[in-house]
Structure 1
Amino acid sequence: MIGVEDVEAAARLIAGHVVRTPTVASPGLSALLGVPVTTKLELLQRTGSFKARGATAKLLTLGEADRAAGVVAVSGGNHAIAVAVMAESLGVKATVVMPKSAPAHAVEIAESAGAKVHLTDTMDGAFALVSRLQADGLSLVHPFDDPVVVAGQGTVGLEFAEDVAAAGGGALTDVLVSVGGGGLIAGVATALHARLPGVRVWGVETEGAEAMSQALAAGGPRQVALSSIVTTLSAPTVAQITYDPVSALVTDVLVVPDADAVQGTLDLAHYGKVWAEPAAGCLLPAARQVRQRVGDGARLGLVLCGGNATTQDVFRWAERFGLR
């Protein structure tokens, strides 16, 4: 398990390369949920998601030979965008592998940043291809199974804790974080527990992308079947390096239906005045569950992890689920 000192080192490393995203109280979401809500707007990060942090940390720690050989990454969308864009900014050649279910705009962004893009039929196939490309000499920038990447993602929690403390208005009692492979929640939980003792951290997954909750039920990482429309949370398994801190530091991992995640995206736009993807939208239905479980004294923090969903995608999903 990484420690808060690793997250602090990552923060120093990536400073100047990534955005210190805003931490803001949300009157609209507070009214909707009936308790104070503070949001960490990581959807305003470079490349549109928190993934820029871990990708940048990894790229900056590569040796000269590895940088010259180039890097490879596997992704359902956001990690591919982050690696492609940040590698271009640092002068590193990137290859990314995505399943065909990945958002078309993610493929376009990665290609426009100069990355070589491979598409596979499934996410499992994407991971298999990456292994072959890594064997050919490319350096892997794993989306979550890497302590440098996890520490980089943990800088979200470090900033969140610092900003909440600076604002004065009362400490957070509960922070909700989306879970794919677990890199974000592992890093954020590490930072938050060090800086905000007593805070509860909750993970959120969508049905059909339940790698962490199934791992917790089984006592360790294992392969899971994927069917969620939320490809940016669709990891076929978590890693031991993400499972361990989650099992130790996270209160629970909640699972919500895809339809509720899409409704959450619509509600974030209406009440929170932000355009998020369903990977962040899933936090709202989960926040209602947390509020019911912990009571009226809750002061909620939401890590809005990304905003890389097109209006066309969201409206198509909304129509599919009969949402308004």
Structure 2
Amino acid sequence: MALVGLEELRAAQRRIAGVAVRTPLLPCPWAADGSRALWLKPENLQPTGAFKIRGAYNRLAALTDGERARGVVAQSSGNHAQAVAYAAGLLGLKAVIVMPDTSPAVKVANTRAFGAEVILVPPAERDTTPVELVDKHGYVWVPPFDDPYILAGQGTVGLEIGEDAPDELDTVLVPCSGGGLLGGTAAALKLTCPGVRVIGVEPELAADAQESFRTGRRTAWPITDTFRTIADGLRTTSLGELPFDHVQAYVDDMVTVTEQEIRDTVALLARRGRLVAEPSGAVAAAAYFHHADELDGRVFAAVVSGGNLDPSLLAELLAT
């Protein structure tokens, strides 16, 4: 597949303007230690609570009239689900969302509140059920990451970082699941700020992308392995084909963080940064707080990719 270029990224930026929030790049003086500094990109401030609205709206807004009339179907553990439901509501489209029955209740409730029909299935059926629905009803499938419009939309995160970053910025940390956010952000940064290093971050319990990056072969992990992590938005079993091409072309390294490091960082961001980050949204910052010495950077930016978590989980993590 052809890589997404700067023209597609700029087109996505124009298309989502006024729908996705242009989130600020926040300085974190409380996280500096004299030898390094941190900036946060708070995508938890999006109207759906996560970066996914960028790609979802970019994809749906580009549909033809005939495709819009058919309605759309998507699968997701929550953030892509909410984004497609929200974007479909803005555009007046029917949306059916297939979600694992292990999805956080808050994400299921929000998806329904945005007007979508939600179908809960066992995790192993999340990726097969949409295919059946497309065949049965003729819906347009909106994949979570393996699509050039989705990847370009997520890549607008990188365009904004490049536009807002201090001249000293040298390292950007980005969460990785299916690779749409990482691949798109890396492409945008390398095409506009080629000296900046881009590092993907995964839970060590769902490190299929790191393995793929290191071996040069797109590798899938069993769903029983990836569903062990608390970071429910990062449980995808493999990189998409198009994101993998972008990761190979533009990403400098892939690192992992532990479950305890993720938990600690959710609490730290809430207490010190006044930001509510779900576990998936905290992994990039966790790499800074727990592994900065290994990353060889001085001025970091970390993408806080989402903030949709059950209040009871946030209370639990703050209490420990």
CA displacement at 1:259 relative to structure 2: 2.0
The aligned counterpart of 2:301 is 301
Whole-angstrom CA distance in 2 between matches of 1:201 and 1:250: 5
* Structure 1, unaligned runs of 5 or more: none
Aligned to 1:48, what secondary structure does the other structure show? coil
Q: For residue 257 of structure 2, what is the aligned residue in structure 1?
A: 256
Q: For the residues of structure 2 that align with 1:174 and 1:271, how far apart are their CA atoms?
A: 22
| Pairing of 1:145-156 with structure 2 (within 5 A) | 145-156=146-157
| Structure 1 contact 181–211 (Cα < 8 Å) conserved | no
- Tell me the equivalent position of 2:186: 189
| Contact 2:42 2:304 (8 Å CA) reproduced | yes
Q: Distance in 2 between matches of 1:208 and 1:125?
A: 21
Aligned to 1:9: 11
Please give the residue correspondences for 1:151-166 in structure 2 after superposition, counting only pairs within 5 Å: 151-164=152-165
- Give the RMSD, CA atoms, in angstroms: 1.7
TM-score by length of 2: 0.93
Determine helix, strand or coil for the equivalent of 1:306. coil
Structure 1, residues 27-49: CA drift from partner, whole Å, max 9, x if none?
A: 12224x85211111111112010
1:305: Cα distance to partner?
0.7
Stretches of structure 2 lacking an aligned partner (at least 5 in a row): none
C-alpha separation between the residues in 1 aligned to 2:295 and 2:313? 34
Runs of 4 or more, structure 1, over 3 Å off, are none
For residue 283 of structure 1, report the CA deviation from its aligned partner: 1.9
Pick from 202, 206, 226: which aligns with 2:203?
206
Any residues of structure 2 matched to 1:1-324 within 5 Å, and which?
1-31=3-33, 35-122=36-123, 124-136=124-136, 137-164=138-165, 169-225=166-222, 226=226, 227-288=228-289, 291-295=292-296, 298-316=298-316, 318=317, 324=320
Does the CA-based 8 Å contact 1:81-1:106 persist in structure 2?
A: yes
How many residue pairs were aligned? 313
More displaced stretch, 280-289 vs 37-46: 280-289
Conservation of the 8 A alpha-carbon contact between 1:94 and 1:116:
yes
Percent identity for Structure 1 against Structure 2: 37
Question: Secondary structure of 1:282's match?
Answer: helix
How far off its partner does 1:86 sit?
1.4
Q: TM-score, normalised by structure 1?
A: 0.92
Distance change >3 Å, CA 110–CA 140, structure 1 → 2: same
